[in-house]
Structure 1
Amino acid sequence: MENYESQAYQQPTNDNGNYMVSKLPNTTGSLVLGILSIICCCSGVIGLVLGIIGLMLANKDIKLYQTNPRQYTGIETTNTARILNIIGLVISALSLIYSIYSIMAVGGWNAYYETIQESIRQAQAAQQ
Structure 2
Amino acid sequence: MVESGRTPYRKIALGVVAAIVLAGIVATVVALRGGGTEVRYEVETSSGSAVMITYTTADGEIGMHRAETAEGTVSTPWSATVTFEEPASLVSVTTDTGDPTATGTCRIFVDDTKIADSSDTAGAMCEAQVP
Fold-level similarity (TM above 0.5): no
TM-score scaled by structure 1? 0.27
Greater RCO (Cα-Cα under 8 Å, separation 6 or more): 1
TM-score scaled by structure 2? 0.27
Higher strand share: 2
